[in-house]
Amino acid sequence: MARCQLCGITSADISKAFSVCLVCIRRRPQKALEMAVDAHRTSRAQFGLPPVPPDDPDGILCNLCVNTCKIGKDCIGYCGLRKNQDGRLTGASTTKAKLSWYHDPLPTNCVANWVCGAGTGAGYPTCAHCLGAESGYKNLAVFKNLHVALTSVENQRTIDNFTRAAAHISQRSQPPVLIANTLLVTGYIDAEEVAAIARFIASLDPNIPYSLQAFHPQFYMSDLPLTSRALADRCCQAARDAGLNDVRIGNVHLLT
């Protein structure tokens, strides 16, 4: 159980790391975001990462992601993977990445497993973790705030990239070029959020597959409950009501 520091409500659906509830993120975004961003800064400091994207006026611009860091001499970018070393950027690039892999016997950990086509030689779909990806709706600012609260960055790049990828959806039906995925973080992602995401996806193509993944509490959100079956069902129905034709729930073994 944690208490929201803005409205005072106590609930198991409030993360102690944030100490702010979903209602306050939506209704009192300015103060709620200050608290959420501070929580992200605190967690990043424990791993030696910059609290905010670097903006050194004499630094080198990195435009690989939405943060567009200006990295000062001998400093690292917000991601921790790029460094200004002797006046040039080293580390990850458009042709070089830092990757890790492991064998996972649980196939549902792949958000595209039910449409993937692995072994068919047809390629794989692009998986878009579309948390808070909505565009053109009157409540855009509210859902954008939720995305910032959960990730510390804005979602405009996600929206733009998803829109670009969706323009190619007709080029291949099996496996699909693109799928969307939302992690149903207990207490923070609800049917209202999912419906807004689904409306955005449906406006591009109602046949884009949409996966709703059950949440398992880990790391700084280890105090939150598992996703309930009732929440997953509500979100699934909300996505279908919003116009999507291919919606499924993943990690069903985690549902309570």
Q: What is the pLDDT of residue 111?
A: 66
Instruction: Find the helix or strand (DSSP H, E) in which 25 lies.
Output: helix 22-27
Q: Does the pLDDT value for residue 130 go beyond 60?
A: no
Q: Does the pLDDT value for residue 129 go beyond 70?
A: no
Residue 95 CB neighbours (<10 A): 5
56 contacts: CB under 8 Å, gap ≥ 6? 70, 71, 72, 75
- Mean pLDDT for 39-63 is 94
% of the chain residues with pLDDT over 90: 62
**pTM of the entire structure?**
0.83
Q: Does the pLDDT value for residue 165 go beyond 60?
A: yes
Q: Rg (Cα) of the chain, in Å, rounded?
A: 19
Beta strand 60-61 pairing with 70-71: antiparallel
Q: What is the pLDDT of residue 94?
A: 83
pLDDT tens across 244-256, in order? Answer: 999 999 889 999 9
Q: What is the pLDDT of residue 100?
A: 75
* Highest mean pLDDT of the ranges 144-153, 154-163, 205-214: 205-214
Q: Does the pLDDT value for residue 133 go beyond 50?
A: no
Instruction: Find the helix or strand (DSSP H, E) in which 83 lies.
Output: strand 82-85
The CATH number of 107-254 is 3.20.20.70
Q: What are phi and psi of 89, to 5 degrees?
A: -80, 130
**What is the domain partition of the chain in residue ranges?**
2-45, 60-91, 107-254
Is residue 140 very low, low, confident or very high in pLDDT (cuts 50, 70, 90)?
A: very low
